[in-house]
Amino acid sequence: KRVAILISGSGSNMVALADSMTGDHPARPVLVLSNVATAGGIAKAQAMGIATAVVEHKPFGRDREAFEAALIETLDAARPDIICLAGFMRILTPTFINHYAGRMLNIHPSLLPKYKGLDTHARAIEAGDDEAGCSVHEVTAELDGGPILGQARVPILPGDTPDDLAARVLPMEHRLYPAVLARFATGDRTPVVLP
């Protein structure tokens, strides 16, 4: 399976995914695409020998459709079987989502369906939750909706700041996303629950 990974920032999840696709793994990374030219993940992907591309959203202004058409053109040139959103910070329209229906995944730093959207860790702390975590889900037209393919949980400790919690969740993301991809790439949609 050919996997394209979309990023907007440091790309730590992209690195974890790319590092996992070795040996007899059924998938290989064929492209890392960013909407931000200066994303740290682009340099990391290049260092790993993975093809990269940048399609900035800014030149398209408010024309989401034109931006997404450019994304699709660049992505489809790499003939991906699976699209992994990994810290990709643009909201995608149903046009884009339908184009990759059933083969696009995203990782979200909360225990969905709780805390869709942004500032997930601050919201969990504010709510007084005693645990937080991350979720990998199939991307559907509903933002951070779609069938959940895996979750990982961490405790929220007294005095935790959002950064403390992010630092505890991120390593779990780096374990969960590769585990979900390895299963998803075989066509198995059974949710992964990390030990």
64 is in an annotated binding site: yes
Q: Is 108 a catalytic residue?
A: yes
| SS3 at position 27 | coil
109 binds ligand GRF (CB under 6 A): yes
Q: Is 68 in the site for ligand GRF (CB under 6 A)?
A: no
Helices (H) and strands (E) in the chain, counts: 6, 8
Q: Which one of the listed residues 108, 121, 137, 174 is annotated catalytic?
A: 108
With CB atoms as reference, the residue minimizing the distance to ligand GRF is: 87
Tokens of 112: 């969905």
CB of 24 to ligand GRF, least distance (A): 25
Q: Which stretch binds ligand GRF (CB under 6 A): 2-10, 73-81, 124-132, 144-152?
A: 2-10
Query: In b/e form, how buried is each residue of 45-67, taking b as 16+ CB within 10 angstroms?
Result: beeeebebbebebeebeeebeeb
Q: Where are the alpha helices (DSSP H) in the chain?
A: 12-20, 40-47, 64-76, 94-99, 120-126, 162-184
Q: Is 74 in the site for ligand GRF (CB under 6 A)?
A: no
Binding letters toward ligand GRF, positions 129-158, x by CB under 6 A? -----x------------------------
Hey, which residues between 21 and 60 contact ligand GRF (CB under 6 A)? none
- Counting residues that bind ligand GRF (by CB under 6 A) gives 14
Q: How far is CA 103 from the centre of its chain?
A: 13
